[in-house]
Amino acid sequence: EKGGYKHFMLKEIFEQPRAVRDTIAGRLREEQGDVYLEDLSLNDAALKGINRICIIACGTSWHAALVGKFLIEEHCRVPVEVDIASEFRYRNPVVDENTLVMLISQSGETADTLAAMRESKRRGGKCVAICNVVDSSIAREADGVIYTHAGPEIGVASTKAFVTQLIALYLFTIRLGRSREVMSLEEGRDLIAAVVRVPALMEEALKLNEQVEKVARNYLQARDFLYLGRGMNYPIALEGALKLKEISYIHAEGYAAGEMKHGPIALIDEHMPVVVLVPKGPNYDKVFSNMEEVIARGGRVIAVCSEGDQEVKDKVEVALEIPEDGCNVSPLILSIPMQLLAYHVAVLKGTDVDQPRNLAKSVTVE
Ligand code: M6R
């Protein structure tokens, strides 16, 4: 049932190009630069009436939400707030009829996310769920659903569900932007073209597997890791750190690279591995200089950069290269080396990768 892989997690990492293809299938309207979301239940008029979006989730799904904020604000110019479900539900949140509340949940059964949705509905918000399990509680009770088609995810550490959540957010962004007429036909088509390229770019990134396994061997003794990224790759730094801590039990923190000088830089010494997400793209120069600050303090940098980026490669201990034309879908492509690094470190340490201690696949109690 693990299809020849040693663990479900590794199988699910390698299934990601397929999972993304299945989540896109049948939904693209390439000519119109638009997307069809069969169960969204919000027509153009309803989408136009929204003046604010709250995205609510837990754990890895919350990281997807953070990428969603970036995409929606960038392309649709609607203000987006992102919240952790357990915070939102007890906070007296501002939600009204013009608020769209998006719930992201792989299982569709997470207690805090479900409660946050019920609270939002009570206040009149329209609720749309991004969900991987058909007919789960959250999917059933939401006004609309965007299903991800990752297939059953067995590993406790979320991998393929996460990347399909990201794809669902790209699709929703296109639909929202086109319906509100803030996104041109051309922009819609460009985004669709970027989404269509994702599976092939992921196949490329999966070729890093052997290199990442070798890298993992050199960092097993580390007690802490720092992960840095900016813009839409900042949530991927958070996700990389979460993957590592949940399966290898090594302490790890994800940080917005620009925030490092406000505290965590004090942690850096020659024992501290720092994973820096520095692909070519909008924040490249800024992240590059943050990386130099780390190197100047003796930090051991594992950079994830664009293929052939000699400037980065000349400076760092390890460079993991991802295909260059993935810049506007970088969160999806960068996720792969993050997952592989956590996986190999954990396997080499001998932990139970698919069933890490103290964790459940779906958290149905608060
Ligand atoms: O099923 P959900 O997406 O609602 O689950 C949310 C979190 O419990 C989940 O993402 C958790 O953080 C994973 N173990 C992360 O790998």
User: Ligand 1, residues 110, 112, 366: which to mutate, most atoms within 8 A of Cβ?
Assistant: 110
Residue nearest to atom 12 of ligand 1 (CA): 59
ipTM for this prediction: 0.99
Residue given tokens 């707030």 in the structure block? 81
Phi, psi dihedral angles at 165 (to 5 degrees): -60, -40
In one letter, which amino acid is 35? Answer: V
Atom of ligand 1 nearest to the CA of 156: 14
pTM: 0.97
* 318-322 and 224-229 strand pairing: unpaired
Please tell me the predicted confidence (pLDDT) of residue 186: 97
Single out the residue of 179, 197, 240, 209 nearest to residue 42, CA to CA.
Answer: 179
361 is catalytic: yes
- List ligand 1's pocket residues with C-beta within 6 A: 58-61, 105-107, 110, 113, 156-158, 246, 359, 362-363
Q: What's the gap in Å between 53 CA and the centre of ligand 1?
A: 21
Q: Along the chain (366 residues), what's the average pLDDT of each consecutive run of 10 residues?
A: 94 98 98 97 96 98 98 97 96 95 97 97 97 98 98 95 98 98 96 97 98 96 96 98 97 96 91 96 96 95 97 97 89 98 97 88 84
Which pair of tokens denotes residue 195? 């989404």
Model pLDDT, residue 361: 84
Ligand 1 center to 85 CA (angstroms): 12
Ligand 1 center to residue 171 CA distance, Å? 21
**To the nearest 10°, the Cα dihedral for 207, 226, 277, 158?**
50
Residues 6+ positions from 307 with CB-CB distance below 8 Å: 321, 322, 323, 324
pLDDT at 202: 97
Which ligand 1 atom lies nearest to the CA of residue 138?
A: 4
Residue 89, phi then psi, degrees to nearest 5: -65, -25
User: 58 alpha carbon to ligand 1 midpoint, in Å?
Assistant: 6
Catalytic residue, candidates 121, 286, 315, 361:
361
